[in-house]
Amino acid sequence: MPRIVDHDQRRAELAKAARAIVASEGIEALTIARVAEATGYSTGVVNHYFSNKRQMLLHTYISTVEQAQARLEAQLARSSLDLDACLKAFLPIDEEQQHEWLLWFAFWGMAITDQELAMAQRRGLRGAQDLFQRIFKEQARQGLLPASVDCDFLAHHCVALINGIAIQAVFDLQEWPPHRQLSFIKKALGLI
């Protein structure tokens, strides 16, 4: 009897291997053969899911954005008022999230000349801005922020700060430990 394969799970496993390769060796090291080697699958299996490096990278990028957004959505379901926990869902505070950021950095360079990749980048940024706007609106509704606060501006400012801090923290986590990342953003937003 043939083994039943969960294609979504397999694709996620291949994307996780691709993310690890890009994070540790750079985008140039990402190949179908390298992902096959890292996962123990044949190149034929990897080619079944991704016909080329670009397709694999695009899927890996999008799934990484979705993973970060799902982390934030889960936090929002627990408490939409805990800004620290919501920020931790995005910032490079641990090895897994540092790998996500390294993948995103590699992707940004490619998005300069590739419209589909640039569109995925815009969607990711807008998704993050929308999520943080919901957080700030809920905080204003609960009286934790002034009712007159410009939640759209605050959300855009927050995402810009996250991106800027991530660039520094990924390459110097000793200088930018999680508590400093959080306090810097909150101070820059005027929340402390």
Number of domains within the chain: 1
List the domain range (segments joined by +) for residue 160.
7-189
Q: What is the pLDDT along the chain (192 residues), one digit of tens a residue?
A: 567 878 889 998 999 999 899 888 888 899 999 999 999 999 999 999 998 888 898 888 888 888 888 888 888 788 877 888 889 988 999 888 988 898 888 888 888 898 988 888 898 889 889 989 988 999 999 998 898 999 999 999 999 999 999 999 999 989 999 999 999 999 999 888
Cα 130 to Cα 127: distance, rounded to the nearest angstrom = 5
Cα 165 to Cα 144: distance, rounded to the nearest angstrom = 25
Query: Considering the domain boundaries, does residue 2 fall inside one?
Result: no
CA-based torsion, 44, 45, 49, 53: positive or negative: negative
Query: Considering the domain boundaries, does residue 26 fall inside one?
Result: yes
Give the CATH number of the domain where residue 53 resides: 1.10.357.10
Q: 150 in helix, strand or coil? A: coil
Cα 136 to Cα 150: distance, rounded to the nearest angstrom = 9
Record the pTM. 0.82
Other Cβ atoms less than 10 A from the Cβ of 184: the count is 17
Query: Considering the domain boundaries, does residue 1 fall inside one?
Result: no
Cα 25 to Cα 21: distance, rounded to the nearest angstrom = 6
Query: Considering the domain boundaries, does residue 27 fall inside one?
Result: yes
Please, where are the H alpha helices in the chain?
A: 7-25, 32-39, 43-49, 53-78, 83-88, 95-111, 115-141, 151-171, 178-188
